[in-house]
Structure 1
Amino acid sequence: MNGASAKRSGGKRPSMFEVARLAGVSHQTVSRVINDSPDVSDATRAKVEAAIAQLGYRRSNSARALASNRSRTVGLIACSINFFGPINTLASIETGVRRHDMFLSVAIVPRAEFERQGFDSAARSFSEQDVDALICIAPTDKTLLSALRMSTTIPRILLTSSHGTFASDEAVALGGTGGPLAFIGIDQWSAMRDVATLLHDLGHRDALYLTGAKGWRDAVTRHMAWDHYAAKLGIASRTLDVDSWDASAAYAATTEALDGYLSSGQPVPTAIVTANDNQAAAVMRALHEHGLRIPQDVSVVGFDDIPGADNFYPPLTTVHPQFDQVGVKATGALLSLLGEGDAPEFDRTAHGMGLVPADLATRDSTGPAPSRG
């Protein structure tokens, strides 16, 4: 191949046929190379890739759409992306979709429009774009029901938690209609089992648990899972209701609770488990202000492993959800529903949903329970 043969006039976009001619192969072979087919020899693949680079060839998504009768566009409906979990979930989905040479179109439903009409409006907009499928980040009961009841028949991937006022395997019976569905979420039950096991093994038998915002399925799932495993392992757990994900609410509630323990002479629980890392930061501040050492007097555990959690004082033990795998699994499920691949495999499935692992990051905020004579 020489530079002269690759020159083109008029600045037109090079075609697959020109790549084939320059490489001395058929256009079907070029197509197999572009689509990573294994049925191409290394030598032939190298020739085709060299021709692609020399010509500056790029695939035309519009041509692919005409050939496949698909837009190669995925619609994503998200709510409350100002929180760490949804932000990372959205980013991982965008990466996963892009890896499959598809485009992600995003609609953010404001909190005031969590009702079904907000989702139907987004669905109508996506219908006009001829999207191939929908991914819905549904953090609350209300958003999950709205996502289920949308007026659409195209495949949907619903990203949610396993429990709220109803479990995920009960959701379709509460109003699900339309096309194929798949549920995916973080394996929060296994994560809270690991938290309870760690504290139990460290000798903790008395704990305080801070809840998250009411109506949020993450908050319900984590609380249910913690209560289940704490009881199973013999940890007496008291609940501190905090109807918020924010640090300020957790700080106020923890300060009041600590004031109550210390003024009455009651022992402070030896461990505090929180529904997210923002709450954990507030708890740690309150403990420091009350002269309680972490972890010598009280161990603290968070959830989410937000950036900087390893630089809290002391570094925070917390749950690290594999958000990057949410995008991988969601994209795999989407392609499967579109008939373009096998359904993704999950390490664990429960309550009708595929579950993505969440690992426990053990750091210095947890230690052996103090002895009490």
Structure 2
Amino acid sequence: MSDVAVVAGVSHQTVSRVLNSHPSVRPETRQRVLEAIEQLGYRRNVAARALVTRRTGTLGVVTSGSALFGPTSTLIAIEEAAREAGYFVSLATVARWEVPALLRTLEHFMSQGVEGIVVVASHDDAADAVRGFESTVPVVMVGPEDLQGPQLYSVAVDQYAGARMAVQHLLDLGHRDIVHLAGPEDWFDARARARAWRDALVEVGVEARTEIAGDWRADRGYEVGLEVVAEGPPSAVFAANDQLALGLLRAFAERGLRVPEDVSVVGFDDVDGSANFYPPLTTVRQEFRTLGTRCLEVLLAAIEGETPSRQRIEPRLVVRASSGPARP
């Protein structure tokens, strides 16, 4: 910084102000300092800065490391938002959402001196571990809407509202026999979507069938699709995610069932490529980039001592060719 100050013809303090975006620096002075920085190839010494400020500029992010579209998209958005805000991300993956493993991961972050933690998981065990961890830094969790406690915050997409949109769309098309292929019972998102499906049918006086147990895999959707055809297909299927819907579409096509003429299919997530399923999939879009950005906003506000409000992000229905009027 002293070398930059000499080349730019300013004080060491002025260089510091430019680096920290202080508003009191004149534009022409700021430009001289920036040119000197570029000329000398100056880079901040993060370790030295941390010793002076007692802030590491590092955030911890926990994820499962799975290839599921939602968590991966959210993780990318968080990292980009953190980098733009001048923070580094320390990433840790846990193979299974088990309390001991997640607690070890959180302790690992604390030993690194992170300033805040984001947990990307809509899973019961992850929420239990976060609630039981006595953190000295803010923790933001993606998924649970009822997460409460000192230093704990949550950011979530309104899963219930999204599922209601999907089922209402099918009801508006005249469908009454609407089956739900559910996600895993120990995921918040899956339970909210199943509850919305059931509530939407009850409100119009339709007795809902028992939901079909599933997970998040296309293979499971395919298995269920074959079973559904053998038992006699319903008028429509609301799948808990797009991968399940993809498996259903394959099973129906192999058994000669036309979509949407014989059965309508609606998914959830709007994954990359869902517009190119055959037929293109009607689904509920989650704004994962917004989700990741909001996580960072909440975390950084908490780091600065503010009390962020609970964040809920609205999804939207994307209507494509896989849903159509109920058969006569």
TM over 0.5: yes
Structure 2 contact 182–212 (Cα < 8 Å) conserved = yes
Change (3 A) 1:321 1:232: same
- Work out the CA distance in 2 between the residues paired with 1:285 and 1:240: 20
- 111, 115, 122: which one aligns with 2:105: 122
The amino acid that maps onto 1:226 is W
For residues 243-282 of structure 1, the aligned pairs below 5 Å read: 243-261=214-232, 268-282=233-247
- Residue 60 of structure 2 corresponds to residue 60 of structure 1: no
- Residue 15 of structure 2 corresponds to residue 44 of structure 1: no
- Work out the CA distance in 1 between the residues paired with 2:26 and 2:306: 24
- 59, 73, 83: which one aligns with 1:98: 83
Q: Secondary structure at the match of 1:43?
A: helix
Q: Which residue of 1 aligns with 2:164?
A: 193
For residues 194-343 of structure 1, the aligned pairs below 5 Å read: 194-233=165-204, 237-261=208-232, 268-339=233-304, 343=308
Structure 2 contact 135–151 (Cα < 8 Å) conserved = no
Extract unaligned runs of 5+ from structure 1: 1-14, 163-167, 262-267, 346-352
Change (3 A) 1:38 1:318: farther
1:356 CA displacement = 2.4
- 305, 309, 312: which one aligns with 1:355: 312
Structure 1 contact 242–253 (Cα < 8 Å) conserved = no
1:220 CA displacement = 0.7
Structure 1 contact 196–233 (Cα < 8 Å) conserved = no
Q: Secondary structure at the match of 2:209?
A: strand
- 115, 122, 143: which one aligns with 1:160: 143
Q: Which residue of 1 aligns with 2:55?
A: 70
- Work out the CA distance in 1 between the residues paired with 2:216 and 2:103: 28
1:311 CA displacement = 0.8
Change (3 A) 1:235 1:95: farther
Structure 1 contact 109–119 (Cα < 8 Å) conserved = yes
Change (3 A) 1:236 1:286: farther
- Residue 184 of structure 2 corresponds to residue 184 of structure 1: no
Q: Which residue of 2 aligns with 1:10?
A: none
RMSD: 2.4
The amino acid that maps onto 1:107 is A
Q: Which residue of 2 aligns with 1:88?
A: 73
In terms of Rg, which structure is larger?
A: 1
Extract unaligned runs of 5+ from structure 2: none
Change (3 A) 1:365 1:28: farther
Change (3 A) 1:54 1:282: same
Change (3 A) 1:102 1:200: same
Q: Which moved more, 1:298-307 or 1:21-30?
A: 21-30
Structure 2 contact 167–238 (Cα < 8 Å) conserved = no
Structure 1 contact 196–229 (Cα < 8 Å) conserved = yes
- Work out the CA distance in 1 between the residues paired with 2:17 and 2:196: 48
- Work out the CA distance in 1 between the residues paired with 2:113 and 2:161: 38
Q: Secondary structure at the match of 1:71?
A: coil
- Work out the CA distance in 1 between the residues paired with 2:187 and 2:81: 26
Structure 1 contact 299–367 (Cα < 8 Å) conserved = yes
Structure 2 contact 71–121 (Cα < 8 Å) conserved = no
The amino acid that maps onto 1:115 is E
Q: Percent identity?
A: 38
Q: Could you give the per-residue CA deviations for residues 23-62 of structure 1, whole angstroms, max 9, x where no partner exists?
A: 3334444334333444444433333322222222222222
Change (3 A) 1:46 1:202: farther
- Work out the CA distance in 1 between the residues paired with 2:84 and 2:14: 22
The amino acid that maps onto 2:227 is E
1:70 CA displacement = 1.2
Q: Structure 2-normalised TM-score?
A: 0.90
Q: Which residue of 2 aligns with 1:365?
A: 322
Q: How many residues align?
A: 328
Q: Structure 1-normalised TM-score?
A: 0.80
Change (3 A) 1:283 1:54: same
- Work out the CA distance in 1 between the residues paired with 2:191 and 2:183: 8
The amino acid that maps onto 1:120 is L
1:334 CA displacement = 1.3
Structure 1 contact 209–240 (Cα < 8 Å) conserved = yes
